Amino acid sequence: MPQKVRIALDAMGGDVGASVVIPAAATALTRHPDTEFLLYGDRACIDPELAKYPALKAASRVIHTDVAVSMHDKPSQALRRGRKTSSMWLAIEAVKKEEADVAVSAGNTGALMAMARFCLRTVPGIDRPAIAAVLPTKRGVSVVLDLGATIGGDAQHLVDMAVMGSAMASVLFDRQRPTVGLLNIGVEEVKGHEEIREAGEMLRAMNLPQLEYIGFVEGDGISKGAADVIVSEGFSGNIALKAAEGTARQIVDVLRAEISKSWIAQIGYWLARGAFRALREKLDPNRLNGGVLLGLTGMVVKSHGGADAEGFAYAINVGYETVRNDLLTKINGMLNRDGSALAQTAQEVVS
């Protein structure tokens, strides 16, 4: 385990760039003093912000580039124009060169996935990466994936995600055999797309020692914490995430508006302020920020493009925890390193 956690930051990524990334890094450093940062981007934007945080400046190295991937670039455009020279690529490449332990970016999701896949490559036996995040639930927390890395996927892809998600849950939640459910439109075995039904049959027949497959989970099962790991293809997973974030903001906004309507409501808030504070913290969308790109040979974390400094600091924290918990090694171990055993077992079940 490294004495220092080295984090490469795409300082130009996201809707705002360095004015969010730098204060976020300063916040993350106060939480984790054993962190060093590599800051990739335009010095003209980074240096004025960095000067405000002497402790962060002492723990950071700035690598200049004036090329940044736009939030509107198509993945193919980003690869052509930003490969080798953009702040996003250089942050990812630092992981490949083992100059950093993890890269964090709030940039264009499609471009980040394309660059990470091209630069780092996928773990042998895994065809497509997935974005996984830890979401709050009634029971505590659950790992949910894929949150938008790719759209669609066959049964084997869903099985791969189940294994990777269970590895993440095992590391973060300290569970020997995490429960896994497939997100579907109903819990009955006959419902859903063919790929989902087939993945369910495969997981049940394989009876993998590293996870306990519990069957299909409906949309409300995410907030209920129906399983430690909930697997979905990227289109449905991203919609589920955005819906959860929107609902959380709506609840907080409605409570704030109702409390301000009368002095009686304000007295009630004052008496129950501890409970309201706990509710606000549990539903804070910033705490949902930071999706881990699973299935790659190195660690990359995706932050929301519109995250503020507090939200981006949470994404950095996610990156820090993946390194300190040795998540990559754990996943590789559960995939038998080359993934061939899993793929062979799945093929036997299908045939």
Summarised one tens digit per residue, pLDDT across range 35-77 is 999 999 999 999 999 999 999 999 999 999 988 888 887 877 7
Alpha-carbon distance of 29 to 23, in angstroms, equals 10
The answer to whether residue 23 is domain-embedded is: yes
Residues 133 and 272 in one domain: yes
The answer to whether residue 97 is domain-embedded is: yes
Residues 45 and 136 in one domain: no
Q: How many CB atoms lie within 10 A of CB 107?
A: 28
Task: Read off the pLDDT band of 10 (50, 70, 90).
Answer: very high
What average pLDDT does the segment 1-14 reach? 88
Higher pLDDT, 132 or 268: 132
Residue 104 has pLDDT above 80, yes or no: yes
Residues 276 and 133 in one domain: yes
Residues 280 and 210 in one domain: yes
Higher pLDDT, 12 or 273: 12
Residues 141 and 279 in one domain: yes
Lowest-confidence region among 57-71, 126-140, 268-282: 268-282
Residues 131 and 241 in one domain: yes
The CATH number of the domain holding residue 185 is: 3.40.718.10
DSSP secondary structure letter of residue 123: P
Structural domain boundaries enclosing 254: 127-288
Task: Read off the pLDDT band of 340 (50, 70, 90).
Answer: very low
Per-residue confidence (pLDDT) for residue 126, from 0 to 100: 82
Classify burial at 55, counting beta carbons within 10 Å of its beta carbon; exposed 0-12, middle 13-18, buried 19 or more: exposed
Task: Read off the pLDDT band of 346 (50, 70, 90).
Answer: low
Lowest-confidence region among 93-102, 126-135, 241-250: 241-250
Alpha-carbon distance of 244 to 223, in angstroms, equals 8
Residue 234 has pLDDT above 90, yes or no: no
Residues 211 and 166 in one domain: yes
Highest mean pLDDT among 41-50, 187-196, 227-236: 41-50
Distance from chain centroid for Cα 328: 14
Alpha-carbon distance of 196 to 281, in angstroms, equals 34
Classify burial at 275, counting beta carbons within 10 Å of its beta carbon; exposed 0-12, middle 13-18, buried 19 or more: exposed
Task: Read off the pLDDT band of 339 (50, 70, 90).
Answer: very low
Residues 253 and 187 in one domain: yes
What average pLDDT does the segment 278-307 reach? 80
Per-residue confidence (pLDDT) for residue 100, from 0 to 100: 96
DSSP secondary structure letter of residue 296: B
Residues 180 and 66 in one domain: no
Lowest-confidence region among 203-207, 250-254, 277-281, 317-321: 277-281
The answer to whether residue 347 is domain-embedded is: no
The answer to whether residue 218 is domain-embedded is: yes
Lowest-confidence region among 75-84, 209-218, 258-267, 341-350: 341-350
Q: Any idea how long the chain is?
A: 351
What average pLDDT does the segment 116-129 reach? 86
Lowest-confidence region among 46-50, 54-58, 286-290, 328-332: 286-290
Residues 28 and 119 in one domain: yes
Residues 132 and 65 in one domain: no
List C-alpha distances in Å: 21 to 24, 242, 289. Answer: 5, 22, 14
The answer to whether residue 26 is domain-embedded is: yes
Using only C-alpha atoms, what is the Rg of the chain?
A: 21
**Looking at 233, 267, 288, which one is the last position of a domain?**
288
Give residue 275's identity as a one-letter amino acid code.
A
What average pLDDT does the segment 135-155 reach? 83
Q: How many CA atoms lie within 13 A of 106 on its CB side?
A: 28
**Looking at 237, 265, 288, which one is the last position of a domain?**
288
Domain count, the chain: 2
Residue 114 has pLDDT above 50, yes or no: yes
Residues 50 and 156 in one domain: no
Task: Give 75-101 pLDDT, tens digit per residue.
Answer: 777 777 767 789 999 999 999 999 999
Report the SS3 class of residue 60. strand
Per-residue confidence (pLDDT) for residue 281, from 0 to 100: 62
Per-residue confidence (pLDDT) for residue 25, from 0 to 100: 96
What average pLDDT does the segment 307-316 reach? 92
Per-residue confidence (pLDDT) for residue 273, from 0 to 100: 62
Q: Which residues contact 65 (CB under 8 A, 6 or more apart)?
A: 40, 41, 42, 85, 86, 87, 90
Q: How many CB atoms lie within 10 A of CB 60?
A: 22
Per-residue confidence (pLDDT) for residue 343, from 0 to 100: 53
Predicted TM-score (pTM) of the model is 0.83
Residue 348 has pLDDT above 60, yes or no: no
Residue 329 has pLDDT above 70, yes or no: yes
Per-residue confidence (pLDDT) for residue 342, from 0 to 100: 53
Residue 146 has pLDDT above 70, yes or no: yes
